[in-house]
């Protein structure tokens, strides 16, 4: 049953059930028609609202079916707000990981105007810190050899690289040894090394107030 017809059905129920002429059968039948429509509607709304959260879950390496089930279950339990902030321009719902990072376990560097991420060299094929939280407006400086470890804004998804041209990290940054990016607004910003992403050289900045 579609949305607009549901409204008509509800008003019919109210009218018919207070009118003795109508039998119990009619009331019961209408109630049966209306009730499932409400349930279906929330399910459908969750499916729409949680698309990004599901994609992010998959991008973080999760199996699509499992990501879908978990995300939709959370949406039905906690309401649509559970998926309201799933896009890369907002924060992740807790429990969802991207590039091996999850906001609640990420290094909390909020409140600092400037943060440095080191990579390569003595650290090997990784970023330090790899998973971190910063406040909106923070300047994040990546320090290391970009020619060996080109930096790209984006996520690793199902074993593949998914560059995000809209990421403040953009990229690839493949020359020089230091580059500073300003992260202006609350966002989930995964990044990776274009050469070593698939062997785990990746991370994510969670920008949160
Ligand atoms: Cu690398």
Gap from CA of 135 to ligand 1 centroid (Å): 26
Domains of the chain from N-terminus onward: 3-84 (no CATH), 103-207 (2.60.40.420)
Gap from CA of 168 to ligand 1 centroid (Å): 19
34-89: pLDDT as tens digits: 333 434 455 655 465 556 555 554 555 565 776 577 655 664 655 544 544 333 44
- Sheet bearing 202-207, strands edge to edge: 107-108, 131-134, 202-207, 187-193, 151-157, 160-163
140-196: pLDDT as tens digits: 999 999 999 999 999 998 889 999 999 999 999 999 999 999 999 999 999 999 999
Gap from CA of 156 to ligand 1 centroid (Å): 14
pLDDT at residue 4 greater than cutoff 60: no
Whole-model pTM: value is: 0.58
Determine contact, residues 131/101, Cβ cutoff 8 Å. Answer: yes
Gap from CA of 103 to ligand 1 centroid (Å): 23
Please tell me the predicted confidence (pLDDT) of residue 169.
97
Around Cβ 116, how many Cβ atoms within 10 Å?
15
Gap from CA of 50 to ligand 1 centroid (Å): 32
């Amino acid at each position: 049953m579609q949305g607009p017809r549901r409204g008509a059905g509800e008003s019919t129920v109210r009218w018919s059930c207070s009118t003795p002429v109508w039998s119990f059968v009619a009331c019961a039948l209408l109630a049966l028609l209306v009730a499932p429509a409400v349930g279906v509607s929330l399910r459908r709304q969750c499916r729409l609202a949680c698309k990004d959260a599901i994609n992010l879950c998959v991008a973080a390496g999760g199996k699509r079916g499992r990501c879908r089930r978990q995300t939709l279950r959370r949406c039905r339990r906690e309401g649509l707000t559970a998926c309201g902030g799933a896009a890369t321009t907002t924060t992740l719902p807790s429990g969802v990981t991207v590039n091996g990072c999850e906001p609640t376990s990420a290094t909390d560097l909020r409140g600092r105007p400037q943060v440095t991420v080191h990579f390569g060299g003595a650290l090997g094929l990784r970023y330090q810190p790899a998973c971190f939280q910063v406040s909106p407006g923070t300047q994040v400086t990546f320090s290391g050899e970009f020619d060996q470890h080109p930096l790209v804004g984006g996520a690793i998804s199902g074993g593949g690289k998914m560059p995000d041209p809209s990421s403040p990290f953009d990229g690839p940054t493949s020359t020089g040894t230091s580059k500073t990016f300003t992260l202006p607004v609350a966002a989930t910003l995964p990044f990776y090394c274009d050469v070593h992403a698939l062997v785990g050289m990746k991370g994510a900045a969670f920008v949160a107030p």
